[in-house]
A and B are shown apart, each in its own frame.
Chain A
Amino acid sequence: MAQTAQGTPATPAASTPSGETSFPAGTPIIVEGTPALGGSPMPGGSPPPPGTPVGAMIGTPAALETPAENTAAFPAAVPFDAVPMGFYTDTTVCIGCKACEVACKEWNGLSSYNGGVNVLSGDSYDNTRHLDGQHWRHVKFIEQFDNTNQGRQGRWLMMSDVCKHCVQAGCMDVCPTGAIIRTEFDTVVIQSDVCNGCRACIGACPFGVIEINPTNNTAMKCTLCYDRMQAGLTPACAQACPTASIQFGAIDDLKQSAQQRLEQLQSLGETRAQLYGADDKIVGGLNSFYLLVDEPEVYGLPASPQLPSRNVPTSGLMSTAGAVAMGVLGLVGLRKRRMDQFAAERAGTGQRDEEVTGD
């Protein structure tokens, strides 16, 4: 039985010592003195300086080579068994605190100051807006308000989105450099030192997860904290989640847990509750699956995502048929021209023969 490490309530890593969150425009937002993951300071004592190559920290054992005085704060980690592991996200208990986003950024050394520009969405309380090369976790705010209704009815749905670590990963299929690999935990990881930035994976991902990280100009996304998992540690986001909305563990165990929660919600009358990606109907199954209380599209998730390779056989056949057709038409054209030439030569010869006979 694989070890299951569910996200335990923890102090949100996002909060500053003073609790203030306002920053003058252009100020790099670096949260110093943050209570670190697992209650211990980050290795090195502070977040990496801006401009630090992100790739240098992805899957690098050095990131885990914590000085002896710091490791004392960690409980002895037991390495996980090499079984499929992932996330089960129960969206019904997400409170939108974005602790997962911040924990992810902090652990993975992802820039949090956006080049010094504070960009506000302007139409939402969510300013992250989407997953990209620098945002490997994104708490979606689905803000549904009916402003035409005088009763001001509305609701917020919240969902911490992340790479789905698909069992059949389209990004891995199309990657021409072999930069995208599947790990012993059945998760999908981009090796930034191999990626050459062709961006095929970006268009191939049916969920819009991957983008280029401007720091190192390679495609990047959630690694499901592969470096932490190799050391038997819970991924940073699940560790930081204060409501256990993000649960981490062996997929089989997570599915059981999700099924129980689904039945509980349905018994309470929430008939719209459904699991998304827990079975193998969606690209072979998602190693990061969700409990939703509305249709997937409402959460910005495709109802029936598919592999990018689905079109290749038919497209190839169509193109081959077109090539054969053009080849045949070309041959017919050349043959017709030759026959016309023969006919003309024959007619010329016949005419000359007649002229000769006539003489």
Chain B
Amino acid sequence: MTSIGSIGSLVLAQTPPSDTFYTHAPEWTWLIVVYFFVGGIAGGAAFLGAMLDLFGAPQDRPLARLAYVVSLPLIAIGGPLLIWDLNRPERFWHMFIQSETGRPMFKYWSPISFGAWGVGVFGLFIFLAAVGTLAELGHLPASLRLLREGVVGKAVSALAGLFGLFVAGYTGILLAATNRPLWADTTLLGLLFLLSSISAAAAVLILLSWRWGHQGSVHWLAEMDVYSSLLELVTLIVLVISLGSVALEVWGNGWGVLLLVGTVLIGILLPLALHFRPHLAGRMSLPSAAALVLIGAFVLRAVVVLSSEAV
């Protein structure tokens, strides 16, 4: 009987550090990782564009236009990625319409349902902002400039920016609304993804504009990149500490090394060093830092998603 008791103790001693380890992985893999990356950049770019548009100077408008024009195709890529990831892609519309009644399908308490509608609404406003931008640039009929002018223009920009922030961060909340190891063991993933998305969006805009953009606008983007990277680093440290033994279990392996090297070192510390010591890479400091930030943002999403899937 004593032996049995000791065996029972042995089994209990081997129990996982969290109740989340008793669950099955939903097999959200590369399609979701790529969606989180491009969707996050799309949302972050819309937010930055709206900030420049609504609160910036006239010389910021070219960068705001760039932000909208970059955001639209990225979110347009994200939608098909999500549909492709479904096991029954032909039923993607069940997310929006009740298949049995034809009524709208919306569950505010389900992050996926809320997210699907949020991405849809964001897509609508970023589409309007991008159409207005193309009209401003003379590629579409002049009457569509209405979307970029006056109250309508401000409303479109503000809503694109606000829903952009939602798209940038909801993916982390979506992961938290599971019972999976790591994802459900923290409430910081939404914040982490939001900050990383803003940082990555700033990086994309810097890469596309550092040669021709107004110096003041590009400088502001670089500042936003620095702020979001610093906050991201702090959030990541708090996250690891708060996870405790779960972090050891999930990241005490190659995933942890990848996170440390790919995100912390390459994606945050090196870019910050290049921002604060621009002489390190001379004229290429800014674009180099931006490119590294993008690598870090992608690795962050890959590690967060795939390391939990691997448990």
Would you call A211 an interface residue if the criterion is a C-beta within 8 Å of the partner chain's C-beta atoms? Answer: yes
Spell out A's residues near B (CB within 8 Å): 130, 132, 142, 144-146, 149, 151, 153-155, 170, 173-179, 193-200, 202-212, 217-219, 294-295, 297-298, 300-306, 308-309, 311-312, 314-316, 318-319, 321-323, 325-327, 329-331, 333-334, 337-338, 341
Find out whether the CB atom of B22 lies under 8 angstroms from the CB atom of A208.
Answer: yes
A187 shortest CB reach to chain B, Å: 19
Q: Among residues 1 to 39 in chain B, which have CB atoms less than 8 Å away from a CB atom of chain A? A: 3-4, 6-8, 10-12, 15, 19-20, 22-28
B95 CB within 8 Å of chain A: yes
Whether A203 contacts B169 by the Cβ 8 Å rule is no
B191 proximal to A (CB < 8 A): yes
Distance (whole angstroms) from the CB of B97 to the closest CB of chain A: 9
Cβ of B187 < 8 Å from any Cβ of A? yes
B188 CB to closest chain A CB, in angstroms? 6
Contact B179 A334 (CB under 8 A): no
Interface contact A325-B23, CB-CB below 8 Å:
no
Given A205-B23, A308-B179, check contact A196 B92 (CB 8 Å).
yes
**Given that A203-B25, A333-B224 are contacting pairs, would A322 and B113 also be in contact in the complex, using a CB cutoff of 8 Å?**
no
Name B224-274 residues within 8 Å CB distance of A. Answer: 224, 227-228, 231, 235
Q: Could you tell me if B165 and A329 are in contact, using CB atoms closer than 8 angstroms?
A: no
Min CB–CB distance A281 → chain B (angstroms) = 13
> Is A312 a contact of B12 with CB atoms below 8 Å?
no
Q: Mark B41-78, 1 if CB is under 8 A from A, else 0.
A: 00000011001100111000000000000000000000
Which B residues are CB-close (under 8 A) to A318? 187-188, 190-191
Q: Which of A153, A312, A341 has the most CB of B within 10 A?
A: A312
Which A residues are in CB contact (< 8 Å) with B165? 323
Interface with A: B170-178, B204-212, B279-287, B293-301, which one? B170-178
Contact (A306, B19) CB under 8 Å given A197-B87, A199-B26, A315-B190:
yes
Residue pair B55, A198 in contact (C-beta under 8 Å): no
For residue B2, give the distance in angstroms from its CB to the closest CB of chain A. 9
Q: A146-B3, A198-B95 are in contact. List 7 more A-B contacts (CB 8 A).
A: A130-B24, A154-B4, A196-B89, A205-B24, A219-B87, A308-B179, A319-B194
A sample of 28 cross-chain residue pairs with beta-carbon separation below 8 angstroms, ordered by A number, consists of A132-B24, A144-B4, A146-B3, A176-B105, A194-B99, A196-B92, A198-B95, A203-B180, A205-B24, A206-B20, A211-B24, A217-B87, A297-B15, A298-B8, A302-B22, A306-B19, A309-B109, A309-B177, A315-B190, A318-B187, A319-B194, A325-B231, A326-B195, A326-B198, A326-B231, A333-B227, A337-B57, A341-B216
| Min CB gap A53→B, angstroms | 12
Known contacts A194-B100, A319-B173, A331-B51; decide if A210 and B24 are in contact (CB<8 Å). yes
**Residues of A contacting B127 with CB < 8 Å?**
none
User: Could you say which of B51, B56, B112 contacts A176, with CB atoms under 8 Å apart?
Assistant: B112
- Interface range, B side: 35 or more
- The answer to whether B116 has its CB under 8 Å from any CB of chain A is yes
Let me know if A206 and B195 touch, CB within 8 A.
Answer: no
CA gap between A311 and B120 in the complex, in Å: 24
Contacts of B15 in A (CB 8 A): 297
- CA separation between A318 and B186, bound complex, in Å? 11
The answer to the question of B289 belonging to the interface, with a C-beta cut-off of 8 Å to chain A, is no
- Taking CB atoms, residues of chain A closer than 8 Å to B57 are 334, 337-338, 341
Contact of B86 (CB < 8 Å), options: A142, A198, A331: A198
Query: Given A196-B95, A323-B165 in contact, is the A173-B109 Cβ separation under 8 Å?
Result: yes
State the B residues within 8 Å of A (CB): 3-4, 6-8, 10-12, 15, 19-20, 22-28, 47-48, 51-52, 55-57, 85-89, 91-92, 94-95, 98-100, 105, 107, 109-113, 116, 165, 169-170, 172-173, 176-180, 183-184, 186-191, 194-195, 198, 216, 219-220, 223-224, 227-228, 231, 235
User: Roughly how many angstroms separate A305 CA and B219 CA in the complex, as a whole number?
Assistant: 48
A300-B22, A315-B172, A333-B220 as given contacts; A149 in contact with B3, CB under 8 Å: yes
Contact yes or no, B105 A334, CB < 8 A = no
A314, B57: Cα distance in complex, Å: 36
Task: List, in ascending order, chain A residues with CB within 8 A of B87's CB.
Answer: 196-199, 212, 217-219
> Nearest chain A CB to B186's CB is how many angstroms away?
8
Which residue on A lies nearest to B222, using beta carbons? Answer: A333
**A307 → chain B closest CB, angstroms:** 8
By a CB distance below 8 angstroms, the chain A residues around B172 are 315, 319
Establish whether residues B216 and A319, one from each chain, have CB atoms under 8 Å apart when the complex forms.
no
**In the complex, are the beta carbons of A174 and B51 less than 8 A apart?**
no
> In the complex, are the beta carbons of A178 and B98 less than 8 A apart?
yes
A-B pairs, 8 with minimum CB distance: A197-B87, A302-B19, A153-B3, A196-B91, A203-B178, A176-B113, A319-B190, A203-B26
Chain A residues closer than 8 Å to B23, beta-carbon distance? 203, 205-208
Q: Which residues of B contact A195 (CB under 8 A)?
A: 88, 91, 94
CB <8 Å contact, B22 and A308: no
Residue on A with the closest CB to B232?
A322
CA distance A303 to B18 in the complex (A): 9
- A172 shortest CB reach to chain B, Å: 9
Return the chain B residue nearest A272 by Cβ.
B8
CA–CA, A199 to B11, complex, Å? 31
